Amino acid sequence: MQKHADWLVWGRNLLSISQNGLTFTKDPFDRERFEAIGKIAKEMLSVHTNTPLERLDGMFFGEKGYATPKIDVRGALFQDDKILLVREIADGLWTLPGGWSDVGDTPSESVEKEILEESGFIAATRKLVAVYDRDKHAHPPLFFHIYKLFFICDIVGGAAQTSIETDAVSFYAENELPPLSTPRVTEDQIHTLFRHYRIPELATEFD
């Protein structure tokens, strides 16, 4: 039997084929075939990830048009050689402030907004450190294909404050990191941010 992540990638790719086909086809018979592909993909994902089919239908209900990766932005703020982390209420673990990039916002606007909402700090984006394909890093698998953008930002105002998504805000030294929310950030990624913070002339990294 193939490992869990293989089934996830295959099912996700089939869903993309189904979505793209339904976007462009004019033939009613092809539409039926693409709908069938999507149904099979969801059933396969449901069985191999122990996820109810109804939940998958809800997750992908709004996915229309040409299928593209989602964009997740994360911002790093430094103070006294420590990095700002927030604790997620959802899992009780720590991460860089960030989240999905909203339609209509630039990447820098998105990360600055997420930082303010999740930590209370007003930030100004200084450097794009990395553009990563989430699948190529040590994150647990998700149903969506995601690009992760990591920025270094400067604190220009505000103060530590929790939110509806976070219940703690604190700065941590590189060798004293708390338990991390690995769906959102990995330890290697935080080390990369420290490296770029200390050596600003390093080039942006990408997959």
Specify whether the backbone of 189 is left (phi greater than 0), alpha (psi in -120 to 50) or beta: alpha
- Are 115 and 191 contained in the same domain? yes
User: Is the Cα dihedral 118, 111, 138, 160 positive or negative?
Assistant: negative
Residue where a domain terminates, one of 41, 60, 79 = 60
Q: When comparing pLDDT for 26 and 199, which is higher? A: 199
Same domain, 15 and 84: no
Residue-wise pLDDT tens digits, 32-75 = 988 888 888 888 887 877 878 787 777 776 678 887 899 999 99
Q: What percent of the chain has pLDDT over 90?
A: 63
Average pLDDT score, the chain:
91
Tens of pLDDT along 2-12? 444 687 888 88
Q: How much is the pTM?
A: 0.80
Domain span at residue 27? 4-60
Q: Give 169-179 pLDDT, tens digit per residue.
A: 999 999 999 99
Q: Which residues contact 149 (CB under 8 A, 6 or more apart)?
A: 71, 72, 73, 74, 101, 107, 111, 128, 130, 131
- Answer whether residue 135 is part of any domain: yes
Cβ-contact 146, 72 below 8 angstroms: yes
**45 shares its domain with 76:** no
180 and 107 inside one domain? yes
